[in-house]
Structure 1
Amino acid sequence: MRRRSLLIAVPAGMVTLAACGDDKSDTSEPGDNATPSASATSAAPPPKIVDGPLPAITAGTEPGQKPTVAKGSGEPSKQLAVKTVVAGGGRTVAENDYVVADYLGQIWSTAKVFDNSYDRKAPLAIQLAQGTIIDGWRYALTGKKTGSRVLFSVPPTWGYGTQGNEQAGIKGDDTLVFVVDVKDTFNAKSSAKGTEVAQENKDLPQVGTNTDGKAPSIEIPKTGAPKKLVANYVIEGDGAEVAAGDSVLVQYKGVQWGNGKEFDSTYGRGQLTSFSLEQVVKGWSQGLTGKKAGSRVLIVIPPDLGYGDNPPQGSGIEKGATLVFSVDILAKM
């Protein structure tokens, strides 16, 4: 069953990664759950952050455990009530970061749980950006550290507004209560992290292993390009394996084999990219399937698994080009 997306917008992959001539269509249908995101951009001014009131967490009190939260008592705050239940010691979350988090959301007045990621055993990965997620999440999580458990209440002004969210059972006057376990955070300076893997085949491109957030080098050998797909670890992470239908959050750089010319890079844009492996060229979807989050992967894509003689207009990719990518899989989404 698919989750009902309450996202304002889903971050998309760049045009130069999108599949061409693919007969797949978007057949997503709403499910019975909701993610903590919004259907319209809030124009409200920033809220005041207050300490409470907030309902108690009565069971599953440790980060990583599915919490049980009591029904709200009395009237909720008209501002954003936030409490750090467990303070983590990791990196600080900044606005516009991508966060990976487990969460539970329920309605203040009834304690009805409208969504949680614990049962799915799949944390949410989402950008804390205006126009992408409800403002309550942006303001409540900015400044928190990874490893933290945060309890907060979101009034309609910084949630779903007076329109609510009918599919999720959220009315226009409902205050929402969230418990969020912040597992990780990523920004434009993030890199793969793991164990370097020897690049022993001198007939394949050599990829830099720097993990300082800067674009790695890609050295193309003076040999003919391989006819088959290559997908090798440069740095092997220890995260979950990516499945064919997953979405991923990545840093990447792409060059052409024939001239070594860069045609696309998240590093140059200073912005991470996320996309479904069902929406990109076959070389990407096949090359990243089975690879672990946290890894850097060399992908060499022959024309028949890339763009062949029909590269995207304005991409700078030549007809029949073999494409070479360094891809940092930051998170599985």
Structure 2
Amino acid sequence: MRRRSVLAAVPALLLTAAGCGSNDKKSDSASSPSPSGSSQSPSGTPTPSASPSAKIVSGPVPAITGGTGFNQKPTVAKGTGTPSTDLAVKTVIQGDGPKIAAGDYIQVNYLGQIWSTAKVFDTSFGRAPYTNVIGEGKVIPGWDQGMVGQKVKSRVELAIPPALGYGSSGNAQAGIKGTDTIVFVVDVLNRFNGKSSANGKPVAQSDASLPKVGTNTDGKPPAITVPKGKAPTKLVANYVLEGDGPAVKATDTLLLQYKGVLWTTGKEFDSSYKTGQLAAFPLAQLIKGWQQGLAGKKVGSRVMLVTPPDLAYGSQANNGIPANSTLVFCLDILAVL
């Protein structure tokens, strides 16, 4: 997998990072379950869950009695009667954005409660939105199967039977029994895939001694033009497009679109655009140039990094990168996971 070339860690950590949907919200998973699997370890990493194929029906789902607007925290009534043993999916507000496909990352706000008691066991409203990949077993099966095909800017209500939720063991810490149907209201804020780009405002690139990076936002790889002359000996981390999201923290797991070229030749050595797969890694596991250059930058931004050898791979060659190479990266910070 080409993405390992930006990792400072051993390849085994790549598997951990690629399968990890957790972030710095560890306190959330300690108190209640998120949609990230049938159960969670104290670190917030989901354990594998079975994904039986679901028949999808339109109801019943409980009434939403308050917070009825998109991205308003909803109040949901207790379920009445017997819930369906199938997956009930109702599009409460039909969005006008692109459709979600399996393999996309979705960014949502959600509220989850128990059908029979209306007890809320988890919500992202009032904290950072939740982002994870859909349709690949990283979230509970009810989400994996119920959210595919929905549109961005939609509100979706799900009534999920135990087999498609937290299983026959339930989740004791959240008060979910193995027989409980659970209800989610999900507001789809955004979706990301291999054609996604940052959405920030262009920033002037006026230093002729530094590389110039394209400002296109059509999902195609931006051009990187490296100037003639000596490379900087210190890290350069400049906005190309400046977003309006929160500042990246050193502890964050980031969803990135990126491209890297050699300073000496301008030759591309790595790109998420070529694989069609976004990079989703903890910042702390990436090369030092990325760690230092992305920390403090705003989500939604495109950043140009010039990374000297001591903050990349030093005197060691790596995957087509010669020893002692200065590297130039274009990175789109799409989301924090």
Corresponding residue to 1:40 among 42, 48, 51: 48
Distance 2:202 2:232 in 1: 23
Alignment of 1:24-63 (within 5 A): 31-38=30-37, 39-45=47-53, 47-63=54-70
Q: Which residue pairs with 1:15 in the alignment?
A: 4
Distance 1:221 1:194 in 2: 25
Corresponding residue to 1:322 among 326, 330, 337: 326
**Any idea what SS the aligned residue of 2:31 has?**
coil
**Any idea what SS the aligned residue of 2:30 has?**
coil
Corresponding residue to 2:237 among 231, 237, 244: 231
Moved over 4 A (4+): 26-30
Q: Which residue pairs with 1:151 in the alignment?
A: 157
**Any idea what SS the aligned residue of 2:5 has?**
helix
Distance 1:191 1:115, change over 3 A: same
Whichever residue aligns with residue 108 of structure 1, its letter is W
Describe the superposition over 1:50-108 as per-residue Cα deviations: whole angstroms up to 9, x where unpaired: 12111122222222222222222221111111112222222222221111000011121
Corresponding residue to 1:130 among 115, 136, 155: 136
Q: Which residue pairs with 1:142 in the alignment?
A: 148
Distance 1:325 1:74, change over 3 A: same
Work out whether residues 105 and 132 of structure 2, in 8 Å CA contact, stay in contact via their aligned partners in 1.
yes
Q: Which residue pairs with 1:297 in the alignment?
A: 303
The TM-score normalised by the length of structure 2 is: 0.86
Of stretches 158-167 and 257-266 in structure 1, the one that deviates more from structure 2 is 158-167
Q: Which residue pairs with 1:221 in the alignment?
A: 227
Whichever residue aligns with residue 308 of structure 1, its letter is G
**Any idea what SS the aligned residue of 1:101 has?**
strand
Comparing both structures, which one devotes a greater share of its residues to helix? 2
Distance 2:99 2:245 in 1: 21
Q: Which residue pairs with 1:67 in the alignment?
A: 74
Distance 1:299 1:316 in 2: 19
1:208 aligns with 2:214: yes
5+ residue gaps, structure 1, are: 1-11
Q: How much identity, in percent, do the aligned residues show? A: 55
Aligned length: 314
**Any idea what SS the aligned residue of 1:152 has?**
strand
Query: How far is 1:310 from its partner?
Result: 4.2
Work out whether residues 165 and 172 of structure 1, in 8 Å CA contact, stay in contact via their aligned partners in 2.
yes
Distance 2:32 2:285 in 1: 23
Q: Which residue pairs with 1:262 in the alignment?
A: 268
Of stretches 77-86 and 209-218 in structure 1, the one that deviates more from structure 2 is 209-218
The TM-score normalised by the length of structure 1 is: 0.87
Distance 2:231 2:173 in 1: 51
1:186 aligns with 2:192: yes
* RMSD (CA atoms): 2.3
Q: Which residue pairs with 2:115 in the alignment?
A: 108
1:287 aligns with 2:293: yes
Describe the superposition over 1:198-221 as per-residue Cα deviations: whole angstroms up to 9, x where unpaired: 221111111122222111121221
Whichever residue aligns with residue 114 of structure 1, its letter is F
Query: How far is 1:194 from its partner?
Result: 2.8
Whichever residue aligns with residue 3 of structure 2, its letter is M
Work out whether residues 203 and 242 of structure 2, in 8 Å CA contact, stay in contact via their aligned partners in 1.
yes
Work out whether residues 243 and 289 of structure 1, in 8 Å CA contact, stay in contact via their aligned partners in 2.
yes
Distance 2:271 2:297 in 1: 20
